[in-house]
């Protein structure tokens, strides 16, 4: 897959993206976050919107407040993973802005003021429920000032890497369906939760879905070869057979992806589970 890279962004800087849209990249780089979380500042007819406040880092919150002058009309959440959500209380306290997110929050610590359903309209945008990476994941579609069809794709489709699907909140079957949904759209650009803007986004969305289908076939094939032992294989054994990651964080992510695939295959009636071991049905 043709992922994108970009130089490390200036910390605390307001980086123009498209007319009326800019981003501030949080200083939380890592193997799961690339250079850091993108916090988007979106100028709308309803006022200034902050999408994904990011991690609870005082310097990042201060950068958002400098850029907005503290005048924020709405805080949007794509999903409630900590690297997108945790700065929300500090930003609410400083601005008094209302929050909006999917109607069923995945964490008990956050309930949005405005609860959004699939296809809800908010601040000139359309919320699209795209579960898979997270059960409460939303993408937001917007017609930009220059006429571009934009989708804020958050962690559903990212330009720099594939997404982790980690059960129980992550669901591979839902992720397949959500990928199919966005690949059939005609957006000009995806603006992800981490990494640079993604032009011609349908190409990568299709490649991600194909990659997941290939991984599913590889798991079934490997389990078929292991069937002769009758013992089956654990998720860790499958991870070691199918992935070559050495970074401990990436090893864990790979194992979570394997488990998500196995749970989907189990729901499809293709594998069975016996304790920690999995075998073909």
**What's the pLDDT tens digit per position in 151-183?**
999 999 999 999 999 999 999 999 999 999 999
Encode pLDDT of 78-133 as tens digits. Answer: 999 999 999 999 999 999 999 999 999 999 999 999 999 999 999 999 999 999 99
Total count of domains within the chain: 2
Give residues with Cβ within 8 angstroms of 91, minimum separation 6: 50, 53, 61, 64, 65, 72, 75, 97
Give the residue with greater pLDDT, 1 vs 18: 18
pTM: 0.96
In this structure, are 195 and 232 located in the same domain?
no
Cα separation of 159 and 194, whole Å?
8
Answer for the pair 94, 65: CB distance below 8 angstroms, yes or no: yes
Which one, of 83, 46, 91, 28, lies nearest residue 64 by Cα? 91
Percentage of the chain beyond pLDDT 70 is 99
Answer for the pair 14, 24: CB distance below 8 angstroms, yes or no: yes
Q: Which of 147, 164, 199 is the last residue of a domain?
A: 199
Encode pLDDT of 42-76 as tens digits. Answer: 999 989 999 999 999 999 999 999 999 999 999 99
Inform me whether the pLDDT recorded for 256 exceeds 80. Answer: yes
pLDDT score at 223:
92
Q: Which of 199, 230, 248 is the last residue of a domain?
A: 199
Cα separation of 230 and 248, whole Å?
29
Banded pLDDT at 244 (limits 50, 70, 90) = confident
In this structure, are 118 and 219 located in the same domain?
no
pLDDT score at 225:
82
Banded pLDDT at 247 (limits 50, 70, 90) = confident
Peptide bond into 168 cis (omega under 30): yes
Banded pLDDT at 231 (limits 50, 70, 90) = confident
In this structure, are 104 and 123 located in the same domain?
yes
Estimate the share of the chain in helix, then strand, then coil, as percent rounded to the nearest 5. Answer: 35, 25, 45
pLDDT score at 228:
58
In this structure, are 20 and 155 located in the same domain?
yes
Give residues with Cβ within 8 angstroms of 147, minimum separation 6: none
Q: How many helices (H) and strands (E) does the chain have?
A: 7, 15
Range of the domain at 141: 15-199
Cα separation of 100 and 124, whole Å?
13
Cα separation of 136 and 102, whole Å?
6
Inform me whether the pLDDT recorded for 227 exceeds 80. Answer: no
Point out which residues pair with 150 in neighbouring strands. Answer: 142, 189
pLDDT score at 67:
98
Tokens encoding 141: 């579609």
Q: What is the CATH number of the domain that holds 169?
A: 3.60.15.10
In this structure, are 99 and 178 located in the same domain?
yes
In this structure, are 171 and 265 located in the same domain?
no
Supply φ then ψ for residue 271, to 5 degrees: -135, 160
Q: Mean pLDDT over all residues of the chain?
A: 96
Q: What is the CATH number of the domain that holds 275?
A: 1.10.10.10
């Amino acid at each position: 897959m043709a992922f994108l890279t970009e130089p490390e962004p200036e910390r605390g800087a307001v980086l123009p993206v498209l007319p009326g849209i800019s981003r501030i990249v949080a200083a939380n780089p890592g193997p799961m976050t690339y250079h850091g979380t993108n916090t988007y500042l979106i100028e709308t007819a309803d006022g200034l919107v902050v999408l994904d406040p990011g991690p609870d880092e005082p310097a990042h919150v201060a950068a958002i407040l400098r850029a907005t002058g503290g005048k924020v009309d709405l805080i949007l959440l794509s999903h409630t993973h900590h690297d997108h959500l945790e700065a929300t209380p500090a930003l609410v306290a400083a601005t008094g802005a209302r929050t909006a997110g999917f109607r069923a929050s995945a964490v008990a610590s956050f309930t949005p003021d405005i609860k959004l359903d699939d296809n809800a309209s908010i601040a000139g945008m359309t919320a699209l429920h795209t579960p898979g990476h997270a059960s409460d994941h939303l993408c937001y579609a917007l017609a930009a000032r220059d006429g571009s069809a934009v989708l804020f794709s958050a962690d559903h489709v990212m330009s720099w890497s594939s997404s982790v699907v980690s059960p129980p909140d992550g669901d591979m079957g839902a992720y397949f369906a959500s990928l199919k949904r966005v690949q059939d759209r005609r957006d000009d650009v995806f603006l992800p939760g981490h990494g640079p803007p993604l032009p011609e986004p349908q190409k990568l969305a299709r490649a991600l879905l194909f990659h997941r289908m290939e991984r599913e076939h590889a798991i079934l094939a490997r389990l078929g070869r292991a069937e002769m032992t009758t013992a089956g294989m654990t998720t860790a054994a499958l991870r070691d057979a199918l992935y070559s990651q050495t970074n401990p964080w990436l090893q864990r992510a790979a194992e979570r992806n394997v488990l998500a695939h196995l749970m989907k295959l189990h729901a499809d009636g293709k594998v069975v589970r016996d304790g920690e071991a999995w075998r073909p049905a």
